[in-house]
């Protein structure tokens, strides 16, 4: 899922400068799970904005704001409240915010920062394991992604900053390469680490990307 | 091979290297003074690359200035600040400046330096950088396209003999050798037995080992290093010895000289990291040479 966090309220208020009427949009998927833009957060935002002397013309939580036709359809269903607003405040990931901007053509305010593609460790705790590099190396690294879990994204083993198995960048994290080594050792295949992993193909990181499935 | 360091190592001479840091500014005079102080008693002088991720003069130019003074530099090159184009083009520039030795490094985390909000590159890692240097030495770039003439670099890599868990670092050491590393300059060592074990482990790789010797001024400095410098760990016994000494700075030099002397029978050379105290380098060298 896409992990996002709400921007500080003062920053949101500053972005709403010059308009008093706001329509608030949340997302029922990722932003709900990470508590950045679900029903509850949308309601709290409405209260906070009202207390800050803004008029909230309406609110809605769209089921997947990244789904562009659905977002357009849902916004049409509330056209009066949307049209009445000076700003649409969106509490979803950056993809959803842009769906809203495109579908409405109105001034959109991003109320969140999109942080990472996250695994859910437990309720309210998320960890980045995949960075969508487009060139998956998990088959060679014991199912641990060196591009993501190694803070430097190193492909061929630990850096000189590893100490007692801890990562140089954050001593609270285990070095990805120590984890990879230990896992492959348990599986009897550390020999797989002898071959040099060649440089990444950063052409996979060019953007904007798109994909159209063949019919 | 034009590298004097390479010639000395292949003649099985025990080599000594020291290091200088390029200045945080455009005036190279302090760098040149420092290099002139240490150069006469060592085989080569490492020039650090934005060490600790602190922005300083490019080591490429600093090393070039040393060459002009008749000093043999070891150009440290990290993967943190340059992508594959910049690394290779700097290497070609180094060749043009008469720089013969390269130490290929990953680079410290950018977050620990003076530009923590910058982007760390890591397009290549140290193994892939070594491979790129080897390609240039064969007269091609890392994609195999021919160069107008091959380079002749003597290239080395870092190693950490006392790191735990050591086994997890072994595959990378072997890959560094495969990728073309001809020498290891190690992180600071403190235990000669651990160094000997390390040398036994890497012997099949046929890579020369130059052991890192850290000169510590005081117990406080040792504790600061342990807290703040990645990959460096001063053992408690050394800290206690410094704490108990009447003149800790002199004791630190004695510790370094003793250790460097012990290295003579274990490895192929020592690399003295004097932490800015250039004046102690000749003293340690004298202790090793006698």
Q: Report yes or no: B17 at the A interface, CB cutoff 8 Å.
A: no
Residue B290 banded pLDDT, cuts 50, 70, 90:
confident
Q: What is the pLDDT of residues A116-151, one digit of tens each?
A: 999 999 999 999 999 999 999 999 999 999 999 999
**Mean pLDDT (whole number) for B165-186:** 98
Specify the CATH superfamily of domain A2-115.
Response regulator (3.40.50.2300)
Q: Is B267 inside a domain boundary?
A: no
Residue B206 banded pLDDT, cuts 50, 70, 90:
very high
**Tell me, what's the pLDDT at B1?**
76
SS (H, E, C) chain B: CCCHHHHHHHCCCCEEEEEECCCCCCCCHHHHHHHHHHHHHCCEEEECCCHHHCCCCCHHHHHHHHHHCCCCEEEEEECCCCCHHHHHHHHHHHHHCCCCEEEEECCCCHHHCCCCCCCCCCCCCHHHHHHHHHHHHCCECCCCCECCCCCCCEEEEEECCCCCCHHHHHHHHHHHHHCCCCEEEEEECCCHHHHHHHHHHHHHHCCEEEEEEECCCCHHHHHHHHHHCCCCCCCHHHHHHHHHCCCHHHHHHHHHHHHHHHHCCCCCEEEEECCCCHHHHHHHHHHHHC
**With a cut of 0.90, is the ipTM above it?**
yes
Q: What is the pLDDT of residues B54-84, one digit of tens each?
A: 999 999 999 999 999 999 999 999 999 999 9
Residue in B123, B168, B231 nearest the CB of A161: B231
Q: Is B77 inside a domain boundary?
A: yes
Residue in A151, A161, A196 nearest the CB of B175: A196
Could you tell me the residue ranges of all domains in chain A?
2-115, 135-205
CB-based contact A156 B123, cutoff 8 Å:
no
Q: Which of B121, B164, B166, B172 to mutate to test the interface with A (most CBs of A within 10 A)?
A: B172
Q: How far is the CA of A142 from the CAs of A137, A170, B255, in angstroms?
A: 9, 22, 43
Tell me the percentage of chain B whose pLDDT exceeds 90. 94
User: Which class for A149: exposed (0-12), middle (13-18), buried (19 or more C-beta within 10 A)?
Assistant: buried
User: How many Å apart are CA A12 and CA A38, to the nearest integer?
Assistant: 17
- For residue A201, list chain B residues with Cβ-Cβ distance below 8 A: none
**Tell me, what's the pLDDT at B231?**
77
Q: What is the pLDDT of residues A143-154, one digit of tens each?
A: 999 999 999 999
Q: Which residue of A has its CA nearest to B228?
A: A168
Give the torsion sign (CA, A52, A56, A59, A64): negative
Residue in B126, B128, B231 nearest the CB of A199: B128
Mean per-residue pLDDT over chain B, rounded: 96
Q: Which of B169, B176, B188 to mutate to test the interface with A (most CBs of A within 10 A)?
A: B169
**Mean pLDDT (whole number) for B111-139:** 97
Above 80 in pLDDT, residue A85?
yes
Which CATH number fits the domain that encloses residue B77? 3.20.20.220
**Mean pLDDT (whole number) for B131-155:** 98
Give the torsion sign (CA, A95, A98, A104, A109): positive
**Tell me, what's the pLDDT at B125?**
98
Q: What is the pLDDT of residues B224-268, one digit of tens each?
A: 989 888 778 899 999 999 999 999 999 999 999 999 999 999 999
State if pTM tops 0.90: yes
Structural domain including B129 reads 4-213
Residue in A163, A199, A202 nearest the CB of B231: A163
**Tell me, what's the pLDDT at B233?**
84
Above 90 in pLDDT, residue A215?
no
- For residue B164, list chain A residues with Cβ-Cβ distance below 8 A: 163-165
Total domains in chain B come to 1
Which residues between 110 and 149 in chain B have a beta carbon less than 8 angstroms from any beta carbon of chain A? 111, 120, 122-128, 131, 142
Cβ count within 10 A of residue A5: 13
Q: Which residue of B has its CA nearest to A190?
A: B171
Q: Is B51 inside a domain boundary?
A: yes
Q: Is B85 inside a domain boundary?
A: yes
């Amino acid at each position: 899922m896409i992990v996002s966090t709400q921007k500080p309220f003062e920053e949101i208020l500053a972005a709403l400068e010059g308009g008093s009427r706001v329509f608030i949009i949340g997302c029922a998927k990722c932003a709900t799970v990470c508590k950045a833009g679900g029903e509850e957060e949308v309601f709290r935002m409405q209260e906070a904005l009202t207390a800050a002397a803004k008029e909230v013309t309406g609110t809605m939580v769209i089921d997947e704001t990244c789904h562009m036709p659905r977002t357009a359809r849902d916004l049409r269903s509330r056209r009066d409240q949307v049209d009445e607003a000076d700003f649409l405040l969106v509490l979803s990931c950056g993809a959803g915010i842009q769906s809203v901007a495109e579908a409405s053509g109105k001034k959109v305010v991003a109320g969140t920062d999109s942080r990472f593609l996250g695994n859910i460790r437990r309720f309210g705790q998320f960890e980045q394991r995949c960075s969508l590099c487009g060139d998956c190396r998990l088959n060679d690294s014991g199912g641990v992604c060196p591009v993501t879990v190694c803070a430097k994204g190193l492909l061929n083993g630990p850096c000189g900053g590893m100490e007692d198995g801890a990562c140089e960048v954050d001593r609270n994290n285990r070095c990805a390469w120590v984890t990879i080594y230990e896992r492959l050792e348990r599986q009897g295949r550390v020999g797989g680490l002898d071959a040099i992993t060649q440089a990444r193909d950063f052409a996979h990181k060019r953007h904007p990307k798109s994909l159209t499935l063949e019919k | 091979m034009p590298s004097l360091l390479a010639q000395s190592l292949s003649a099985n001479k025990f080599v000594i290297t020291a290091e200088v840091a390029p200045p945080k500014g455009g005036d190279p005079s302090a760098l040149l003074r420092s290099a002139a102080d240490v150069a006469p008693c060592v085989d080569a002088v490492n020039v650090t690359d934005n060490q600790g991720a602190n922005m300083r003069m490019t080591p490429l130019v600093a090393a070039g200035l040393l060459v002009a003074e008749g000093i043999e530099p070891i150009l440290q090159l990290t993967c943190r600040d340059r992508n594959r184009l910049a690394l290779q083009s700097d290497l070609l520039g180094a060749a043009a400046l008469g720089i013969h030795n390269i130490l290929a490094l990953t680079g410290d985390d950018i977050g620990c330096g003076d530009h923590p909000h910058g982007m760390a590159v890591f397009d290549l890692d140290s193994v892939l950088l070594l491979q790129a240097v080897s390609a240039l030495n064969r007269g091609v770039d890392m994609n195999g396209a021919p160069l107008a003439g091959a380079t002749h670099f003597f290239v080395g890599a870092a190693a950490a003999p006392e790191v735990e868990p050591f086994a997890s670092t072994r595959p990378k050491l072997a890959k560094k050798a495969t990728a073309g590393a001809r020498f290891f300059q190690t992180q600071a060592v403190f235990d000669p037995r651990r160094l000997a074990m390390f040398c036994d482990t890497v012997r099949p790789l046929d890579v020369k080992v130059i052991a890192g010797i850290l000169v510590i001024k005081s117990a406080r400095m040792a504790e600061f290093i342990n807290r703040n410098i990645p990959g460096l760990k001063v053992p408690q016994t050394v800290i206690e010895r410094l704490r108990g000494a009447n003149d800790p700075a002199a004791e630190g030099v004695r510790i370094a000289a003793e250790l460097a002397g012990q290295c003579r029978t274990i490895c192929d050379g020592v690399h003295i990291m004097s932490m800015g105290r250039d004046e102690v380098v000749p003293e340690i060298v004298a202790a090793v040479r006698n």
